[in-house]
Amino acid sequence: MGGILVIGSYNRDTVLRLARFPAPGETLTALGMAQFHGGKGSNQAVAAARAGGRVALIAALGQDEAGEAAQALWAAEGIAAQAVQITGAPTGAATILLDAAGENQIIIIPGANAELNLPIGFPPPDDIAVVLGQLETPQAATAALFRALPKARCMLNVAPAAPILPELLAATDMLVLNETEAAILAQREAAPADLALALAAETMREVIVTAGALGAFWARPDGVVIDAAPPRVAITDTTGAGDAFLGAFAAFSAEGLAPERLLRQAVTAGALACTEAGAVPSLPYRAAILALAK
Ligand code: RIB
């Protein structure tokens, strides 16, 4: 089984639990506050490792307590922290507003993540089957890594939604994004399957659009769509659900699972990640995913 290489962000998440989101100009009192490990790159690496993948991570941290905590997390999760860069900027941070329905709004403060680069001459590890990138770290570094691994399946999580550099899109095999991000990229509202089809036709790449309780829709440029519905779960916090989906998708993809089974197991991982508070505490382990996805 080939390995998984993730390039991406680490953030210290501060979660503010609210009865509802504030209106513009309104002041609200939080019901509670908690801090968790976060950042889409780190979350996806942890999710892939817990799903059974052999995972390495390229990331940038500050010289501070949050950076040390990140390295301790990766060691505990069995992730090979590959080419971790310690920068003069503080470790990335995120403020997450969480409403009573478990929906979130996220603001990131990039810090060290914005300084991530791929060292010239960086030798990619051997035997990589899947490479995962997101848009919380510089696109040029992700493009350089994708180009350095032409035999691997290069998946780009288009989050936060932003225009994709042509050089990055050219090196990408698959785009993965949620329905909000897909509507921003497509510049229109539509059903998730239609957004996936439209973006696949426009980019000539495979596209997966995730849509919460509706599941995920995987379109190919030739117009074929596969979809999978998630199991029903009690929602506590949706933060990290997309990262759980991607990490599990990468891990099971590296095992060579058939598309329908692969998508079903990935949406199950996403659903399980909604059942607990915080991004990393809720990322599910392989046994729980397989038991629920039967
Ligand atoms: O996808 C969830 C993550 O987005 C959070 O952990 C936060 O840090 C932001 O990166």
Task: Kindly indicate the confidence band of residue 284, based on its pLDDT and cuts at 50, 70 and 90.
Answer: very high
Q: What would the pLDDT profile of 43-99 be if each residue is shown by its tens digit?
A: 999 999 999 999 999 999 999 999 999 999 999 999 997 778 898 999 999 999 999
Length of the chain: 294
CB 254 within 8 A of CB 270: no
What pLDDT is stored for residue 82 in this prediction?
Answer: 76
208-241 tens-digit pLDDT = 999 999 999 999 999 999 999 999 999 999 999 9
Residue 294 has pLDDT above 80, yes or no: yes
Q: Say if CB 219 and CB 206 are below 8 A apart.
A: yes
- For the beta sheet containing 32-38, the strands, ordered from the edge strand earlier in sequence to the opposite edge, are 32-38, 11-17, 92-98, 104-109
For residue range 24-38, what is the model confidence (pLDDT) as tens digits? 999 999 999 999 999
Q: How far is the CA of 129 from the centre of ligand 1 (A)?
A: 25
Say what the pLDDT of residue 217 is. Answer: 98
Contacts with 76 (C-beta within 8 Å, 6 or more apart), sequence order: none
Largest Cα–Cα separation, the chain: 53
Note the pLDDT of residue 84: 85
Mean of per-residue pLDDT scores for the chain: 95
Q: Which of 31, 138, 27, 159 is nearest to 94 (CA)?
A: 159
Q: Is the pLDDT of residue 4 over 90?
A: yes
- CA nearest neighbour of 265 among 48, 24, 22: 48
Q: What is the pLDDT of residues 113-125, one digit of tens each?
A: 999 998 777 777 7
- Considering the candidates 13, 227, 237, 243, report the single residue annotated as catalytic: 243
Assess whether the C-beta atom of 111 lies below 6 angstroms from ligand 1.
no
Ligand 1 atom closest to the CA of 96, numbered from 1: 7
Q: Select from 239, 246, 276, 283 the residue to mutate for testing ligand 1; criterion: most ligand atoms less than 8 Å from CB.
A: 239
Q: Given a cut of 80, is residue 131 above it in pLDDT?
A: yes
Separation between Cα atoms, residue 76 and residue 153, nearest integer Å: 27
Is 243 known to be catalytic?
A: yes
Residue whose CA is at the smallest distance from ligand 1 atom 8 = 39
Of 179, 178, 153, 175, the C-alpha closest to 164 is 175
Tokens representing 274 are 């909604």
Distance in angstroms (rounded) separating the CA atoms of residues 227 and 223:
13
Residue 104 Cβ < 6 Å to ligand 1: no
Cα(250) to centroid(ligand 1), Å: 18
For the entire predicted model, the pTM comes to 0.96
- Specify the DSSP class assigned to residue 60: E
Secondary structure of 165-203 in the HEC alphabet? CHHHHHCCCEEEEEHHHHHHHHCCCCCHHHHHHHHHHHH
Q: How confident is the model at residue 146 (pLDDT cuts 50, 70, 90)?
A: very high
Would the pLDDT of 171 be above 80? Answer: yes
SS3 assignment, position 244: helix
DSSP-H helix ranges across the chain: 40-50, 65-76, 139-148, 166-170, 179-186, 192-203, 241-254, 259-272, 279-282, 286-292
